[in-house]
Structure 1
Amino acid sequence: MRLPIDDILPEVVTAIRTHGRAVLQAPPGAGKTTRVPLALLEAVAGRIIMLEPRRLAARAAAERLAEQMGEAPGQTVGYRMRGATKPGRRIEVVTEGILTRMIQSDPELTGIGAVIFDEFHERSLQADLGLALCLEIRAALRPDLALVAMSATLDAAPVAALMDDAPILTSEGRSFPVEEIWLDRPNKLRLAEATADLIVRASEERDGSILAFLPGAPEIRRTEAALAGRLSGTDIRPLYGGLPFAAQRAAIAPGRRRKVVLATSIAETSLTIEDIRIVVDAGRARRARFDPGSGMSRLVTERVTRAEAIQRAGRAGRVAPGAAYKLWTKGEDGALAAAPPPEIAAADLAPLALDLALWGSADLPFLTAPPEVALGEARALLRDLGALDHADRITDHGRTLAAMPLHPRLAHMLAMGGPSAAPLAALLSDRDPMQGAGSDLALRLKALPKDPAFAAIRTEAKRLAKTAPKAEPLTPAEQAALAYPDRIALRRPGDAPRYLLSGGKGAYLAEDDPLAGQRLLVACDLDGDAREARIRLAAPLSEGALRALYGDRIVWYDVCEWSRREGRVIARRQERFGAITLDDRVWKDAPTEAIARAMLDGVRELGLRLDGPAVLFRARVEAVRAAGKPLPPMDDAHLTETLDDWLLPHLTGVKTAGDWRRFDTAPALRAMLSWDQTQTLDRFAPAQFRTPTGRTVPVDYSGETPAIAVKLQEMFGQSAHPRIAGQPLQITLLSPAGRPLQVTSDLPGFWTGAYVDVRKDMRGRYPKHPWPEDPLAAEPTLRVKRRG
């Protein structure tokens, strides 16, 4: 059968012969996966390696290529992936991580003439790394190495520019037209029910088998349940990565009856599923997001992007005209994002950091540069595992880990734990076959030897055991602790099973979980919530085992800190592993300076408190500063910022919020001034005013002018208004009872004016006090009149 890609195959061959590289755009169903490698056989000397993002797609592509040559896989065409290999003489279809290991073991790629990156639009981390490594090899070692990037929905221009302006070739059109059908109104039902309804509708309106896209295995199971009894004469076939390979093959194989394939994104690319005429797209995709702050990945369910929707719809037109039913409206379609983010921008970069260290350079031509923060966190983990030295150079142990087909955490566990750690490594590197059965890792390990759901994990465990070095056997919890030193969990005080991880983050167990009462756990799998993650898989760990494994990292700390909850400084001696405290004792002889420094944090929390004398002193300083004199600032912002300088030496004995409320800050403020500055302050803003009776009263500088308050009788005989540093004093004249009678900045004017009315009002109210007709002739006094 002729395919659209056939029309441009001569151009592809010419581009490889003349340029040695090409970017190929071809819509779904055009035939690029099954035609291009065969077309290049004559143009390329050496083997052709083609990368596929998934194992099922790699094996299916190899089988289809071999079939076109009238052969079985393992002759001209072969495949290589984790757990399954059939070498081919000229063409090998491999999963993406295989290429990286091939390059690390043979940087010249001896005997390989071309590398094809199929479905490059998926932008997997391994595909990005593989292309970057191949470009560096081509530039430095192998200018004859041919490179082809192929995709259905790729923005080709940036890729072509990265590949030294590679020719862009485009195959127009897909095999058959696909009609797109949207909802009339936004969906209000749950995803599984709505998808099931749409599948039933499509089956009634169209002929042919159906491929339905859902975000993950749980949604597939719920949709399968919602379809029960609604589709007669139809086989319902789940298709997702966690299924046994035989079940995956059954989903894509042709059958005698109509079928509905409920698939994840595993079916978006490279696979031609026989008899599919209809696509039902639930409009959701599940992606991994790595949070460098928590050191955890989590799965998020998001709307599909426009590129993914196009790719999915194209599945309906591979073998005949088809239809794509979409679980969203046409209006919503316009709001879809253009494409999903590349994995390198959102993934756990520990494997990448290890590969870059092994390669010896991080300066590779990436299409998207790895985020520096995430890469830094990845290197910190690798240093923690002993894979990198302090200068981030790979160690001998790191080379051992890089040779293992596992995440560096699990590779470290296998290297240190030996063959006995292989079952746990295989289990933790795969999907949990017992989701929802509690968190206890022991349940999975008990089921692993015989349960059919663990068949693939058993096979992988046997393979890993052969690669592991000999080592003293450890318990599963000890093995897990090797892989996750940052996820040793200590139960917090209280009834709820909440934990603190050694890496500093919070986590919790369901209250009815069998492990909820354990003091120490190793949290092997978490949901990735950055605030407080749910523990999905764990193993109880004894403190003795923790000390045996990490005794060199368990350290005593002297802790003197402010406790917001208790409102006081606490001084403790704590034995810690990372962020968790294994032993906690009172620090009886904590230094006074340490207590005072901790109290500063309390002051920052409680707020700066200035009592009356301190307020008056600060007002004097600010008044002199306003006059242009060089005194230090004492506003709240500056005082708070410089607490260490002016307050710390005076906090001896202050330990609680109550102590701080009673603390007199005035001496600490006065100590901020030198002797010369104090003289300047006293000269231009004296603290007190001496009244004509010889009594001293404080001067308030908080207003626009200095102010005092005195009883009216104390100012008798004053013909001139008092001044301070050239400024007239604002005087509040008080009654004998201390109540304000008049505020004046012109005392002589008061005596000749308003005093007459004040005298009339006050002499009857306070007859024992003097109220002379001529206050300028009277003696200042605080006494009452003599009797008689």
Structure 2
Amino acid sequence: MSDAGTPLPIDALRADFAQALAAGHVVVTAATGSGKSTRLPVWAREHGRVLVVEPRRLAATSLARFVARTLDTRLGGGVGYAIRLDARHGPDTEVVFATPGIALRWYGEDRLRGFTTVVLDEFHERRWDTDLLLALLQAGASHRLVVTSATIAGARLAQHLSARHLSSEGRSHPVDIEYRAPQPRAMPETRDLARRVAGAVQSTLQAQSGDCLVFLPGKGEIQACYQALKGIGATVLRLHASAPAADQAAALAAPAPDAPPRVILSTNVAETSLTVPGITAVIDSGLERRTHRRNGRTVLSLQPIARASADQRAGRAGRLQPGRCLRLWGHQAPLAAVTPPEIQREDLSDLVLAAACAGARAEALPFPEPLPAPALEQAVAGLRALGALDPQGRATERGHRLFQLPVDTELAHLAVAMPDTESAGFMADLAAALSTGRRWVQPPADPADEDALARALPRRCDATLLVAALRLDKLPGVRVDRASRKEARRLADQLRGLMNLPARPVALEGDPTAAFAAAVRALPRRTYVRRERRRQAMGNGGDELLISDQSRLDPEAEAALCLDEHSVPGRGTRQTVTLGTCLAPVPLQALLDAGLAEATLQAPRLEEGRLLARRSWRYAGRTLHSEDVVPEGAPAREAMAELILADRLLRPAGARLRDDLAAWALYVALGQGQGTVPSPRPWLVEQLTELGVENQEDLQLIEPEDLAFEGVPEWERARFDEHYPRRIQLPDLLLQVHYDVRRRVITVEKVRGSRKRDPQRWELPAWPGWRIKYQRASRVVEVR
């Protein structure tokens, strides 16, 4: 990072910025490294206290430290920060860097009143929370807004805000771009990523002086590359939110003149949010972890970056001198132009709840682009089902309580839905573990370690393992990222404090069965059952997932809660596969107790004169339980109707009803009568209902004549049946008659009989004006 006295490209805008901010809102488009994130907040404090909203925690803390140092003020004094689980600021701090989640909570608590200017930095990342903050602050009209970005269309945003648009160029040198893929249209991929990165780093260090910045999608890939680069003759550093503090500090510090070259392995936090000094070469995997909607839910998956992001990453190599960028994909790879905003690709539940807790309806706010109607409707419906919104869309007391907890809305709902203190504590600890990041707990790879873990934790359950890893310092064979565990513990303690729960235990106490059963009731769509044939697949009636290879779910478990998941590429260019990564086994009975299964009555029958039926409870296409029952009420009438129509009860009521309805349908179709033509079974059920039939005993009082259908008038019925019979008996041949009134075609179909020759026209009714056909099996001929 630059010193305070070092000129920066943004300095040329100082006078224009001061004039524009005095008049109202300002949109500043400036390249990464121009100084916008450090200079603009300092200039804006001339009007009063400044809140700078940074999308990433690492950027918020790093920028706060840098600005405090350049202003020669104590961190937490003149300049401070506020992120989840950490804050250093006071009521007189002039410039506070905060994450969007903190800023939204302060808005809802009316704590933004103390700030004159709000700077939304790196707005081009288009997170839902920064979009919401922009809409709320624009609607509130009580703050000066400064919106900064490296890539967004600033003029259009300035028009949306009625703001002045300023732009600044960054310092850049030419960057030589090289593509490393065997095929020109090869897309970015993870196959052999660590090996390919190691090879690219080796060749870059040989060809280019200076430091190398490697863009990777997440800390798992960073750790794999970190191991692959050991002994490479360079200082390898990791840069992400939970990386070791020493690595973060070394990566963001200016390199010493005589030090060996550095290789910084970073997520896209280094794309625009942070300036990493000394970089002359970039190696780009072309991948990022990004959210998207799948079956109405937000899932995180590994995806190719957009071209705009690729250009930003390449630009990092040209700050000091002509640079080099190695892209690990083909030069004709069909990357998207830009990354869609989160509000266009995510579930909107968190956004809608945050808006409601701020006293606003999301659909009424002035977003830069309209919220997608289907996602908005689904979010509102889901929050009402959770009891977080009232029918008018206002946040309920429960909604405010959920929003107060610094975790995902669904996880917060699970924590507050628990029936007792012990279950609530378990779910709070689990929510903290899941919110800290992915794969910070690695189960044993060695079978002996797995056996030892099974003795320590008899329940084979991912959720139980996570909570145990959070509470206990050591588990047999389990590898834990200590920095992540420390963060998870701090978050768990914060959640427990907000929920008035006892202190976090240092042992895995009690049985979480009650917690999981309550979770099934509280969030039923998170409940999955195994497919009976494909045992590695599970479904919930809406979508399907595969059990991750890393999951410790008991192979004998037939149902499970899926509390975390991620998507990976499947077959084809657009297909994805969802992997369940945190699964907790639940008994099938828990699904029945929660009312998730749909009960159906099948196979009605008479056994020794007794009416019985098979009642089955099904969920997601699988039968959970079946039993023989004596039906009562509506199920009894359904069963009776089926048996009557099969001529197994009240004979001949069923056969006569079928014939009466067929005659009436033909009568109406011929235009000889008017009215509706009911289906036999619903009509029969309705008649039984009107007759007050509740059980088999009531049926003893019914005569077949009570179930007669009065369709064709009785005085016309004989004549009508003579002219339009439904069956005809010829010598050794029984025929079924089908009438196609619209086409004026009659088909007589052989039902049974030993006769070999076809029926003759003279053997059939007159049927003037109709064409007659004879059908025997698949053979159809004209009758002449």
TM-score, scaled to structure 1: 0.72
Moved more, 77-86 or 532-541: 532-541
2:154 to 153, 156, 170: 156
- Deviation string 1:728-783 (CA, Å, 9 cap, x unpaired) is 99899xxxxxxx99975xxxxxxxxxxxxxxxxxxxxxxxxxxxxxxxxxxxxxxx
With over 3 angstroms needed to count, the CA separation of the structure-2 counterparts of 1:646 and 1:414, relative to structure 1, is closer
Q: What is the CA deviation profile of residues 52-78 of structure 1, one whole-angstrom value per residue up to 9, with x for unaligned ones?
A: 111111111112212221233222211
Distance across 1 between alignment mates of 2:114 and 2:614: 67
Find out whether 1:433 has 2:440 as its counterpart.
Answer: yes
Q: Structure 1 residues 476, 116: closer, same or farther in 2, change over 3 A? A: farther
Higher alpha-carbon Rg:
1
Q: Cα–Cα, structure 1 residues 573 and 620, in superposed 2: closer, same or farther, change >3 Å?
A: closer
From 64, 67, 71, the counterpart of 2:66: 64
Q: Structure 2: which 5+ residue stretches go unaligned?
A: 1-5, 445-459, 475-481, 569-574, 605-611, 647-654, 690-706, 775-779
- Cα distance change, pair 311–508 in 1 and its aligned pair in 2 (3 A): closer
- Give the residue type in structure 2 aligned to 1:517: E
Q: Quick one: which of 579, 600, 606 aligns to 1:559?
A: 600
Q: How does 1:397-476 map to 2 (within 5 A)?
A: 397-415=398-416, 417=421, 422-431=428-437, 432-435=439-442, 437=444, 439-448=461-470, 449-450=472-473, 452-453=482-483, 454-470=485-501, 475=510
CA distance 1:25–1:688, shift in 2 (3 Å): closer
Q: What whole-Å deviation, never above 9, does each CA across 1:200-234 have from its counterpart, x for those lacking one?
A: 232222111111112223332333344444x3x21
1:249 maps to 249
* Matches of 2:781 and 2:492, distance apart in 1: 96
Structure 2 distance, partners of 1:482, 1:674, is: 60
Distance 1:317-1:499 versus aligned 2 partners, 3 A rule: closer
RMSD (Å), alpha carbons: 5.0
1:4–1:31 Cα contact (<8 Å) kept = yes
Aligned amino acid, residue 408 of structure 1:
T
Q: Which moved more, 1:302-311 or 1:468-477?
A: 468-477
Deviations 1:71-94 (A, max 9, x none): 332222111111221116211111
Tell me which residue corresponds to 2:37: 33
Cα separation, 2, equivalents of 1:698 and 1:491: 47
Separation in structure 1 between the aligned mates of residue 766 and residue 546 of structure 2, nearest angstrom: 68
DSSP-derived class of the 2:441 partner: coil
**Where in structure 2 are the equivalents of 1:192-341 lying within 5 Å?**
192-229=194-231, 231=232, 233-255=233-255, 256-293=259-296, 296-332=297-333, 335-341=334-340
Q: Distance in 1 between matches of 2:100 and 2:10?
A: 24
Helix, strand or coil at the partner of 1:527: strand
Q: Which amino acid aligns with 1:166?
A: A
What is the CA-CA distance between 1:279 and the residue it aligns to?
1.1
What whole-Å deviation, never above 9, does each CA across 1:592-632 have from its counterpart, x for those lacking one?
432378899x9xxxxxxxx9xx99x9899879958x76678
- Distance in 1 separating the partners of 2:160 and 2:32: 24
1:364: how far off? 1.2
Shift of 1:725: 6.2
User: Residues 439 and 598 from structure 1, CA distance in 2 versus in 1: closer, same or farther, beyond 3 angstroms?
Assistant: farther
Deviations 1:148-167 (A, max 9, x none): 1111110224422331x212
Secondary structure class of the residue paired with 2:523: helix
SS in 2 for 1:203: helix
Q: CA deviation at 1:490?
A: 6.9
Name the SS of the counterpart of 1:110 in structure 2.
helix
Partner of 2:696: none
8 Å CA contact 1:624–1:681 kept in 2: the answer is no
Alignment counterpart, residue 110 of structure 1, candidates 104, 109, 113: 113
1:536 equivalenced with 2:541 (yes/no) = no
Change (3 A) 1:32 1:650: same
Distance (Å, rounded) in 1 between the aligned partners of 2:244 and 2:166: 38
Q: Distance in 2 between matches of 1:496 and 1:313?
A: 45
Q: Distance in 1 between matches of 2:82 and 2:382?
A: 30
Tell me if the contact between 1:5 and 1:171 (Cα under 8 Å) persists in the aligned partners: yes
Are the counterparts in 2 of residues 619 and 701 from structure 1 also a CA contact under 8 Å?
A: no
Q: Which residue does the alignment assign to 2:138?
A: 135
- 1:429 is paired with a residue whose SS is helix
Q: Deviation digits for residues 692-712 of structure 1, max 9, x if unmatched?
A: x9x999988679777999999
Q: Following superposition of structure 1 onto structure 2, how do residues 39-54 of structure 1 map, counting pairs within 5 Å? A: 39-42=43-46, 44=47, 46-54=48-56
Question: In structure 2, how many angstroms separate the alpha carbons of the residues matched to 1:696 and 1:501?
Answer: 50
The one-letter amino acid of 2:601's match is C
Identity across matched positions, percent: 30
1:500–1:580: 8 Å Cα contact kept in structure 2?
Answer: no
Whole-angstrom distance in 1 between the partners of 2:764 and 2:620:
68
- Which of 10, 15, 19 is 1:10 aligned to? 15
- Cα displacement string for residues 534-583 of structure 1 (whole angstroms, at most 9, x for unaligned residues): 43223455799x69xx97x55997532589xxxxx964175x99999876
Relative to structure 1, is the Cα distance of residues 158 and 598 closer, same or farther in structure 2, using a 3 angstrom cutoff? Answer: farther
In the TM superposition, residue 342 of structure 1 has moved relative to its aligned partner by 1.1
Corresponding residue number in structure 2 for 1:516: 555
What amino acid maps onto 1:444 in structure 2?
Answer: L
Q: Which residue is equivalent to 2:102?
A: 98
Query: Given the superposition, is the C-alpha separation of residues 132 and 696 from structure 1 closer, same or farther in structure 2, using an over 3 Å criterion?
Result: closer
CA contact (8 A) 2:215 2:268 kept: yes
Pair 1:373-2:374 in alignment? yes
Structure 1's 648 and 169: CA in aligned 2 closer, same or farther, altered over 3 A? same
Cα distance between partner residues in 2 of 1:707 and 1:112: 85
Amino acid at match of 2:207: E
Task: After superposing the two structures, state which structure 1 stretch, 68-77 or 202-211, moved more.
Answer: 68-77
Compare 527-536 and 350-359 and name the one that shifted more. 527-536
The answer on whether the counterparts of 2:516 and 2:586 sit within 8 Å (CA) in structure 1 is no
TM-score normalised by the chain length of structure 2: 0.72
Q: Distance in 1 between matches of 2:739 and 2:385?
A: 60
Q: Report the residue type matching 2:465 in the other structure.
A: L
Q: Aligned match of 2:176 in 169, 175, 179? A: 179
How many residues get paired? 673
Name the stretch that deviates more: 417-426 or 257-266: 417-426
Alpha-carbon spacing, 1:309–1:376, altered in 2? closer, same or farther (3 Å): same
Q: Alignment partner of 1:148: what SS?
A: strand
1:527 to 534, 558, 566: 566
Deviation track 1:289-343 (CA, whole Å, cap 9, x = no partner) reads 24354xx5322222211221122122223344422222233333xx321211111
C-alpha change, 1:507 and 1:116, in structure 2 (3 Å) is same
Report the Cα distance in structure 2 between the residues aligned to 1:216 and 1:633, rounded to whole angstroms.
Answer: 64
Separation in structure 1 between the aligned mates of residue 299 and residue 226 of structure 2, nearest angstrom: 25
The answer to whether the Cα contact below 8 Å between 1:5 and 1:31 also exists between their aligned partners in 2 is yes
Shift of 1:457: 1.8
Deviation at 1:243, TM superposition (A): 2.8
Contact 2:388 2:398 in 1 (8 A): yes
Counterpart-to-counterpart distance in 2, 1:534 and 1:349: 22
1:128 deviation in Å? Answer: 0.8
Give the 3 Å change call, closer, same or farther, for CA 67–647 of structure 1 in structure 2.
same
Return the offset for 1:244.
4.1
Distance 1:458 1:316 in 2: 38
Counterpart Cα distance in 1 of 2:736 and 2:293: 64
